[in-house]
Structure 1
Amino acid sequence: MTIETLAGGQTRIPATYMRGGTSKGVFFRLQDLPQSAQQAGLARDKLLLRVIGSPDPYGKQIDGMGGASSSTSKAVILAASERANHDVDYLFGQVSIDKAFVDWSGNCGNLSAAVGAFAIHSGLVAADRLVRDGVCEVRIWQANIGKTILAKVPMRDGEVQETGDFELDGVTFPAAELEIAFVDPAADDGDDADAKGAALLPTGAVVDQLTVPGVGSFEVSFINAGIPTLFVDAEALGFNGTELQGDINENVALLAQLELIRAHGAVKMGLINDVSEAANRQHTPKLAWVAPARSYQASSGKSIAAEDIDLCVRAMSMGKLHHAMMGTAAVAIAAAAAIPGTLVNVAAGGGERQAVTFGHPSGTLRVGAEALQEQGQWRVKKAIMSRSARILMEGWVRVPSASF
């Protein structure tokens, strides 16, 4: 399949629409993009905005592939990797719904689950790396943050096995299980200039005090693993950790307060210099709140028992409470839970932990992390979780030729 400019004023570009974890996005091979969009810049951003259907003042993305939520307003670009010991380079763009803005500042952990499968499907993994039956490990270079992800992709008869009986809360139908490992996920030595110098504990402390004018002062744990995240105790925000989207997302004043907390946290983490810059950095950092395990009813109606989880976590994504949990934030949760004294660790019961099961709005998720201290500094060697992925549609996406 090749790019083609049509007489009707549109350009059609080879693309694949995929679900990865609890997210969906449009996947492209770098080589299939128009020449002007094969490098970072305005042309690429304008193309992806038009593909997804943004900016949309109605907030619906009707004239594009987006689904009007942070979980479905995403784009992925892949290329065969020239980096040693890696198969594919993966670049992620979080597309704003109502603004002409693509945020390249972080990764999407959920769509990371689809990267290995797409890379195999689209011929980006060398033939001698594939297996006919069994598990193929795809070595992914996450270009946004300069980190390695290892995806264990099940294969059958030389093809990716997509169907199965693995159930993931937040996804209606079962599929084949994919194990995703985020290697050394603290962004402290990547190629991305924005990530350099950002340690696992950005301030060096497991708990800090964050003062937000007009809102209050809070104990916060800043974690930079998977994605920069600030964790707050749910009770300090007036929550109990069992909130669902309807409890948060319709309250405009509350959303503004939470965004202000996120903005001030971003400054303290060294990600921006002033809170005014947060509007152009919507994807990172994430804001999450934690609470000890409590029983609640998930958004699907499923009953979550306190004895089946270690703690409750809720997280904001692109200004709204996420319907489940972002994969990168789950990495941050795993890392924070493994470090004694963080708010996440305390909410989970304290002590040394290599894995936790947490409750989120759609159900539960188990994540693991291996943390250790080296010369007095905490390091997470690897964080692991299970996800699933599936191709929903493949072919071409059509974009008005004058839009990019």
Structure 2
Amino acid sequence: MSESQTTFKPQLKVPATYMRGGTSKGVFFSLLDLPEVAQVAGEKRDALLLRVIGSPDPYGKQTDGMGGATSSTSKTVIVSKSDKAEHDVDYLFGQVAIDKAFVDWSGNCGNLSAAVGAFAINAGLVDSSRIPENGVAVVRIWQVNISKTIIAHIPICNGEVQESGDFELDGVTFPAAEISVEFISPSDAKNAMFPTGKLIETLAVPEIGSFQATMINAGIATVFLQADALGYLGTEGQEAINSDQKALQRFETIRAHAALKMGLIDNLAEAVTRQHTPKIAFVSPAQAYLSSSGKSISSEQIDLNVRALSMGKLHHAMMGTAAVAIGTAAAIPGTLVNLAAGGGEHTSVTFGHPSGTLKVGAQASQQDGQWVVEKAIMSRSARILMQGWVHVPASTI
């Protein structure tokens, strides 16, 4: 018998749930189900999550893991009971890089936020007194990455989470039950909503050009540009952007300079290790286009068009946190998003994205000369795709 056979150890089995939330999906864990060394932040936890997802993968496919080789499907979530007053659970999100050995903990996933409440109920992490036999369970979530509150309204039928329904979400093939998600005070309390102090800032990028930009901390740090300034219509789909490596590199360079201007990094080199934030998006006035599913979107259906990149690629729909940024910026007169939507006052906007349309509402006001947003609201859906265990080699941790 060879030495490798005598030293063989069975794979680790870790209880996990594979869930879709909004237009994303990821692997969900209850904190106490993780191996003890991975129950605390650090290299062991990151190593475990990387191996679960199948990263780093130089082939870019994540074939040997649960990831789907896109920013929307290379995600992990850790949920635990919360000891924070007036909250039910803590929610920690890890965006796993596909080709690098890196887990980005710098932001939230708004789409998967819709699945956290349902997961928490199913995992027994929400007190039974808060779950009606029939009706809506209000799950109070503490988002650990950004220290913010999220309220998820989870439909309950016969004491169980209702997953089936007739709510349709563009970017998701099948209808499901509607989940209303409220992002409370989504701007970063530690930083100004507009970090440069201006609604529209000039962003100079050496060897590329200068751009008018709205840089905002709401939902997730986001920089908005004008589509025409980049040479686009604003109605582009994934193929038009993601097949153009020169364009992707230009977007990444612009994003890095925006991160520096927003104070998110101290030098440009740090942008490589902060892929999840800020997001970069471009806006244009409402225009008709054909969605990725072949559905015609008329200009009358929407207030504006928005396209956004995540982890270096154009997103197939819209990140939930970026939708919060869109709704917030649209509610504040004078931002590029607000102007693309026609200017004036907006308590909600419907925007066009590559897969269709999405409506998001926000309540914003000025206090002591500073813009603040009370909350942003949108509807998503979520459901369990698979439950059981994920297996990783014992040598992983």
TM-score by length of 2: 0.98
Match of 1:3 in 2: none
Match of 1:19 in 2: 20
Match of 1:172 in 2: 173
Q: Find the aligned partners of 1:272 and 1:34 in 2 and give their Cα distance.
A: 32
Indicate conservation of the 8 Å contact 2:304/2:350, yes or no: yes
Is 1:371 the equivalent of 2:359?
Answer: no
Match of 1:157 in 2: 158
Partner secondary structure for residue 168 of structure 2: coil
Partner secondary structure for residue 246 of structure 2: helix
Q: Find the aligned partners of 1:59 and 1:81 in 2 and give their Cα distance.
A: 36
Match of 2:5 in 1: none
Partner secondary structure for residue 255 of structure 2: helix
Match of 2:380 in 1: 387
Match of 1:100 in 2: 101
1:207-237 C-alpha deviation (Å, 9 max, x unpaired): 0000000110000001100000000010000
Match of 2:246 in 1: 253
Deviation at 1:169, TM superposition (A): 0.1
Partner secondary structure for residue 202 of structure 1: coil
Match of 1:332 in 2: 325
1:2-30 C-alpha deviation (Å, 9 max, x unpaired): xxxxx752000000000000000000000
Match of 2:81 in 1: 80
Deviation at 1:110, TM superposition (A): 0.2
Match of 2:310 in 1: 317
Q: Find the aligned partners of 1:254 and 1:232 in 2 and give their Cα distance.
A: 14
Deviation at 1:288, TM superposition (A): 0.2
State the AA in 1 paired with 2:255: R
Q: Find the aligned partners of 1:35 and 1:226 in 2 and give their Cα distance.
A: 31
Is 1:139 the equivalent of 2:140?
Answer: yes
Q: Find the aligned partners of 2:313 and 2:354 in 1 and give their Cα distance.
A: 13
Match of 1:289 in 2: 282
Match of 2:61 in 1: 60
Match of 1:402 in 2: 395
Taking every aligned residue pair, what percent have the same amino acid on both sides?
A: 68
Q: Find the aligned partners of 2:223 and 2:31 in 1 and give their Cα distance.
A: 33
Partner secondary structure for residue 293 of structure 2: coil
- Where do residues 355-366 of structure 1 align in structure 2 (5 Å cutoff)? 355-366=348-359
Is 1:210 the equivalent of 2:211?
Answer: no
Q: Find the aligned partners of 2:268 and 2:326 in 1 and give their Cα distance.
A: 24
State the AA in 2 paired with 1:314: R
Q: 2:335 aligned to 342, 345, 352, which one?
A: 342
Partner secondary structure for residue 385 of structure 2: strand
Match of 1:109 in 2: 110
Q: Find the aligned partners of 1:114 and 1:8 in 2 and give their Cα distance.
A: 34
Q: 2:214 aligned to 214, 221, 245, which one?
A: 221
Q: Find the aligned partners of 2:104 and 2:94 in 1 and give their Cα distance.
A: 6
Q: Find the aligned partners of 1:263 and 1:9 in 2 and give their Cα distance.
A: 43
Q: Find the aligned partners of 2:307 and 2:267 in 1 and give their Cα distance.
A: 26
- Structure 2: stretches of 5+ with no match in the other structure: 1-7
1:101-130 C-alpha deviation (Å, 9 max, x unpaired): 000000000000000000000000011111
State the AA in 2 paired with 1:100: A
- Where do residues 185-200 of structure 1 align in structure 2 (5 Å cutoff)? 185-188=186-189, 196=190, 198-200=191-193
Match of 2:125 in 1: 124
TM-score by length of 1: 0.96
Deviation at 1:276, TM superposition (A): 1.1
State the AA in 1 paired with 2:94: G
What is the Cα-based RMSD across aligned positions, in Å? 0.9
Partner secondary structure for residue 66 of structure 2: coil
Q: Find the aligned partners of 1:274 and 1:246 in 2 and give their Cα distance.
A: 31
In the alignment of these two chains, the number of paired residues is 391
Is 1:276 the equivalent of 2:269?
Answer: yes
Indicate conservation of the 8 Å contact 2:9/2:394, yes or no: no
1:24-66 C-alpha deviation (Å, 9 max, x unpaired): 0000000000010000000000000000000000000000000
Q: Find the aligned partners of 2:53 and 2:306 in 1 and give their Cα distance.
A: 29
Deviation at 1:204, TM superposition (A): 1.4
Question: What stretches of structure 1 move > 3 A for 4+ residues in a row?
Answer: none
Deviation at 1:372, TM superposition (A): 0.5
Q: Find the aligned partners of 1:239 and 1:380 in 2 and give their Cα distance.
A: 30
Indicate conservation of the 8 Å contact 2:106/2:145, yes or no: yes
Partner secondary structure for residue 46 of structure 1: helix
State the AA in 1 paired with 2:355: S
State the AA in 1 paired with 2:23: T
Q: Find the aligned partners of 2:125 and 2:193 in 1 and give their Cα distance.
A: 32
Partner secondary structure for residue 173 of structure 2: coil
Deviation at 1:270, TM superposition (A): 0.3
Is 1:45 the equivalent of 2:71?
Answer: no
Q: Find the aligned partners of 1:204 and 1:378 in 2 and give their Cα distance.
A: 10
Partner secondary structure for residue 72 of structure 1: coil
Indicate conservation of the 8 Å contact 2:121/2:161, yes or no: yes
State the AA in 2 paired with 1:294: Q
Partner secondary structure for residue 308 of structure 2: strand
Q: Find the aligned partners of 2:142 and 2:195 in 1 and give their Cα distance.
A: 23
1:61-100 C-alpha deviation (Å, 9 max, x unpaired): 0000000000000000000000000000000000000000
Match of 1:192 in 2: none
State the AA in 1 paired with 2:211: F
Match of 2:33 in 1: 32
Partner secondary structure for residue 283 of structure 2: strand
